[in-house]
Amino acid sequence: MRFISLLIATTALLPWICAGQDDTSNTADDNAIHAITELHEDGTKTVTITDPDKHTSEASTYNAGDRLIEKVVYTLDENNSPVSGLVYGADNAVAFKTTYKHDDFNRIVEEDDFTLQDELFRRFTYDFGPDGKLKQIHAFDGQGNELQESDAHKDQRQSLPRGH
């Protein structure tokens, strides 16, 4: 249950994971602040606000009662893709740090999660099929042992664990 409860915030990351070379929604020329609210089947919602001028994005996930569950504040690169993030718990305290690696198509291919003492405790890798769609997600602990292998067609919030 603890592992499942940590899965929520990555929903905001999905556009970057699945972004293709033709995606123009995150270009540096688009300087308008974007706000997106995504409603989830379980009654939770994620509100993402992106400010291209400041190269930041903030994704806040709320439960059905509109109480904050988790918040992620991303630092974005010149293409407004995430390079790092701070993940906050429901108490609004920083829980852990995360970094991202991208491929030539600007899709996230690796996520590394670190404690506040900079110790790696989890890694995710994302595999894409020949069609460019997310095919598989692999989760590893800090020692490199695979924790979970998931089918990318499952609920993405359950496929992309967050938190510790």
DSSP 75-141: EE-TTS-EEEEEEE-TTS-EEEEEEEEE-TTS-EEEEEEE-TTS-EEEEEEEEE-TTSSEEEEEEEE
0.85 exceeded by the pTM?
Answer: no
121: its two tokens: 């405790």
pLDDT tens string 33-43: 999 999 999 99
What pLDDT score does 144 carry? 92
pLDDT tens string 123-154: 999 999 999 999 999 999 999 999 865 555 43
What pLDDT score does 31 carry? 79
C-alpha closest to that of 50 among 69, 70, 72: 72
144: its two tokens: 């490199």
Segments of the chain scoring below 70 in pLDDT: 1-30, 148-164
